Structure 1
Amino acid sequence: MPERDTGTMRVLWRLEDSNPSARLRAALAVGTAPDPRFVDKLVERCAIEPEFPVREMLTWALTRHPSSMTVPTLVDELRSERAQARSQALHTLSKIGDRQAWPAITRALLTDADDEVARSAWRAAVALVPEGDEPALAAVLATQLGRGERATRLSLSRALIALGEVVTPILRAATTDPDPRVRQHASATERLSRDPDAGFEFAVEEAKRIAALGTTGQEG
């Protein structure tokens, strides 16, 4: 076997090493010397890699390869039954930034039942949305207001804010939603868009206070 092929196989084996540090070094080596033969293995490993730093290095390694090689494989992963495969593929697509992947960011992904998949889809959508499609994307994202715990709600708020002025009327309408969680999340997102330094928790508490005043009719 030629020396180059032997080296390639050695790196591929290290991507499956039981030691996370060895897998991290292998992913770094792949990114440092990109090779089309690594792409499928990198994507495959992303779907099952348990360690966050290693997953980030795998994503970095994929960004070092031509998007013409990586994007089609990553788009195929979006149909995987494994939530981590979908989430990591979305994350990597957002880092690559090739808008040819935009049609694959479907409503089903943006509303995925798995919070990590949905959060990754929101970030990818904001990164890849073509000019003019922001209002339609904002309308879909707004259907997720009130969803999940703090991290999920903050991710959605950031995604909506990143879309700019197109979200203003959508958020304003959501502040009158029958669901109090939706109203509070929309109000907090509005506040955060006006004052990013206020912090999400402060914006949420302020939204609750305003909602309470609106209910009681009291001032102060």
Structure 2
Amino acid sequence: MLIGEVARRSGVSARMLRHYDSLGLVRPTGRTVGGYREYSAEDMRRILCVEGLRSLGLSLRQIGRALEDPACTPSALVGDLIRWAEDRLEREQELLERLRTVDASAPSGWQGVLRIVELMHGLNSPSAARRQQAVLAPAEDVRVPTELLAGAVLAESDPNVAGALRWALARAGSDAVASVVSGAYSENVDIRRRAVLAIAEMSGDEATAVLADALRDSDPTVRRHAALASGTRGVTAAVPTLVGMVVEGTNDVEAAEVLGRLSLDPECADRIMAALVDELAAHSADSAVRIRLTQALVEMSGTIAQGVLGQLAHDGDRAVALIASASLRPVRVVGLPDDESCDDAGRRHPSQVLRR
């Protein structure tokens, strides 16, 4: 067959067939008396083979090596093609995400586009200091997409950078919780921890609801983060975890302070007191635990706590007794007579030092 007929049957242009010939990829078996290229049936099969490999993404050079190298097996070649395609798709996906991020910022000019691009480069830096600097740099009136900050905060392992990201995300607007809420239900425990810490710094009913859900998380660290944040918001379901933190000695001071706030509600106060008293009885032989529980009782409001502390003031554990006794002593202002601790209006002077 002459080149025109081959081009018609194969769908490959005559120009491309000549290019194949010049590369040595598909050389016609013979020539006519007039010097025209003449292709055999075997040449046609090779042309179709080349086109098939091209459709899989191989370059002409790669096709040439594949057809001439006896060590190149179809399975190895296809495996290489899969890896190349996956790499290309990953790069394309990254580009798509960058473009969407820039679009979400609704830039009014090229300066805004460049600011978002600079921020993305900064957040991807291997240097923690550079990442933190990128977050805290002036925004120059450019809206930073919450999705960008959320993705960064869920992936950030450096505590300083993570803190800066949480600060920025909490101030990003009303959709901040929605942008990070999926992380609170991730299968990856590190992502759940980061998500709960971020949501803890956000306000609103949606944030409170997510934190309440996190109180049932399988990871104790997630539950503790959620309990401190939920308890501060008045969620009484946080009480068991907070009491457990006091017993375990994990952020026990913060947990005791939150329990003290919750005890301002009389109904919750009874529940907290019962839990603390039960733990005192359960750990009668563990001085460290009883000390922490006594310190937590000091934070409680109401007369019930005072009654329990009055009993503990005579406890056989000297450290427990001293803490309880100190909490029951009246406050005296240094520099005033023993019977005088306030000014005529009943206010303590701000320059005076209080002691128990």
TM-score norm. by structure 2 comes to 0.46
Paired residue secondary structure (2:243): coil
Residue 162 in structure 1 maps to residue 261 in structure 2: yes
What is the root-mean-square deviation of aligned Cα atoms in Å?
Answer: 3.3
Counterparts in 2 of 1:144 and 1:42: CA distance versus 1, 3 Å: same
Match of 1:114 in 2: 219
Match of 2:119 in 1: 11
After superposition, the C-alpha distances for 1:35-55 in whole angstroms (9 at most, x for unaligned) are 253x12211221221221111
- Measure the CA separation in 1 of the matches of 2:184 and 2:121: 25
- Measure the CA separation in 2 of the matches of 1:209 and 1:146: 25
Alpha-carbon contact 2:224-2:241 (below 8 Å) kept: no
After superposition, the C-alpha distances for 1:38-77 in whole angstroms (9 at most, x for unaligned) are x12211221221221111110111122112x211122222
- Measure the CA separation in 2 of the matches of 1:209 and 1:14: 60
Alpha-carbon contact 2:259-2:299 (below 8 Å) kept: no
Residue 176 in structure 1 maps to residue 283 in structure 2: no
Alpha-carbon contact 1:111-1:144 (below 8 Å) kept: no
- Measure the CA separation in 1 of the matches of 2:139 and 2:263: 34
Match of 2:324 in 1: none
Counterparts in 2 of 1:6 and 1:208: CA distance versus 1, 3 Å: farther
Alpha-carbon contact 2:230-2:238 (below 8 Å) kept: no
Code of the residue aligned with 1:88 in structure 2: it is: R
- Measure the CA separation in 1 of the matches of 2:191 and 2:113: 28
Post-superposition shift, 1:93? Answer: 2.3
Residue 58 in structure 1 maps to residue 157 in structure 2: no
- Measure the CA separation in 1 of the matches of 2:226 and 2:241: 14
- Measure the CA separation in 1 of the matches of 2:189 and 2:249: 20
Match of 1:93 in 2: 199
- Measure the CA separation in 1 of the matches of 2:142 and 2:201: 17
Post-superposition shift, 1:139? Answer: 4.8
**Which has more helix, going by share of residues?**
1
Match of 2:61 in 1: none
Post-superposition shift, 1:8? Answer: 1.1
- Measure the CA separation in 2 of the matches of 1:210 and 1:63: 46
Aligned residues: 192
Match of 1:190 in 2: 297
Match of 2:52 in 1: none
Alpha-carbon contact 1:77-1:85 (below 8 Å) kept: yes
- Output aligned runs, 1:194-205, within 5 Å: none
Code of the residue aligned with 2:202 in structure 1: it is: I
Alpha-carbon contact 1:47-1:82 (below 8 Å) kept: no
After superposition, the C-alpha distances for 1:147-178 in whole angstroms (9 at most, x for unaligned) are 47423333322221222323421232121346
Structure with more contact order per residue of length (Cα contacts < 8 Å, sep ≥ 6): 1
Match of 2:147 in 1: 40
- Measure the CA separation in 1 of the matches of 2:188 and 2:140: 28
Match of 1:49 in 2: 156
Paired residue secondary structure (2:278): coil
Residue 22 in structure 1 maps to residue 127 in structure 2: no
Paired residue secondary structure (2:187): coil
Code of the residue aligned with 1:179 in structure 2: it is: A
Counterparts in 2 of 1:31 and 1:16: CA distance versus 1, 3 Å: same
Paired residue secondary structure (1:96): coil
Residue 142 in structure 1 maps to residue 240 in structure 2: yes
Code of the residue aligned with 2:251 in structure 1: it is: T
Alpha-carbon contact 2:224-2:242 (below 8 Å) kept: no
